[in-house]
Amino acid sequence: MQSTRAIFIETGGPEVIEWITEEHPAPAPGEVTIEHRAVGLNYIDTYHRRGIYPVALPSGMGLEAAGRIVALGEGVEGFKEGDRVATFGPLLGAYSTHRNIGAEHLFLLPDSIDDQTAAAAILKACTTEYLVERCGKVEAGWPVLVHAAAGATGLLLVQWLHHIGAEVIGTVSTDAKAKAARTAGADHIIFYKEEDTAARTREITGGKGVRVTFDGIGKSAWETSLDATGQRGLIINFGNVNAPIGEIDVGVLALKGSLYNTRPMLFHYYEDPVERAAGAARVWDMFDNGALSVTIGQTYALSDAAQAHRDLQAGKTTGSTVLLP
């Protein structure tokens, strides 16, 4: 069986992505071989490629994928050939037609979740779960701010927050993205390129500011997040779409109202097996009860991953992006 996979041997722009076709090895003990049916594109993929999150080189690419098990290594329990599964890492290598991966990194897919939905959503939906319920601990009635509310994770955040009864303020750049965010459940829309986001947030909240700010933008949104978050509120920086924030003067958190700030990572919330199982179960339940749905705004052939990266970084995508082997 032959397989094709993406690698990069140096960091840089999308042009550093290379493709290798080779005979696929048998799975090692504890591993399974997955035939990928859909691969998820995430902004973190660009961080790895650009060197923002350093990885050993040469490196595979991608974290999120869904498919079926076609071979089992020795000692694998709880899975069988033909099972539909998905993974969100932490190991890189999802940009591939076939992949060997440790069984401990897999989630069984319920029949109600198709492959493209799983590949588009599992990383971002599990991210949403821990951000809202275990990191932000958002409660009904709380005003919250979601930067980039029409992005892939943004739309899931808006849906989840709306479902639990939060008052959702979302920032967007275009009318089309505003429509998507409103459809997802945003109560208020701010066009961040045309309006002062912090001032509008304060106006919406009667001057108090929000209880929690979900900021996946990074450096360019940091001052806005500080000014939009109310006294003793929490700023959750979960991404660096613009650039890493860099050094923070913690004294500013006091001056802005005794604010809290955290930079969480998905894998730290999904490392413990009990938490991992509970988090995934909560995600599938949210899909099954209709509270959560994923918007696949665009698909690309897997071999066109470089162009997908360009479009993602240029802000040309809406919702989730799926690469098809």
- H-helix or E-strand spanning residue 21: strand 18-23
Distance in angstroms (rounded) separating the CA atoms of residues 11 and 8: 7
Domain boundaries, given as residue ranges, for the chain: 2-121+268-324, 140-263
Quickly count helices (H) and strands (E) in the chain: 10, 16
**Residues contacting 202, CB < 8 A, separation 6+:** 208, 209, 227, 228
Task: Say which amino acid occupies 268.
Answer: H
Per-residue pLDDT at 247: 85
CATH T-level topology, domain 2-121+268-324: Quinone Oxidoreductase; Chain A, domain 1 (3.90.180)
Give mean pLDDT, residues 221-245. Answer: 92
Q: For residue 210, give both structure tokens.
A: 């929000």
Task: Say which amino acid occupies 103.
Answer: A
Per-residue pLDDT at 273: 87
Pick among 3.40.50.300, 3.40.50.720, 3.30.420.40, 3.50.50.60: CATH of 140-263: 3.40.50.720
pLDDT range class, residue 245, cuts 50, 70, 90: confident
Per-residue pLDDT at 72: 97
Give mean pLDDT, residues 48-66. Answer: 95
Q: Locate tokens 């041997």: which residue?
A: 9
pTM check: above 0.75 = yes
Residues 198/228, Cβ–Cβ less than 8 Å: yes
Residues 132/164, Cβ–Cβ less than 8 Å: yes
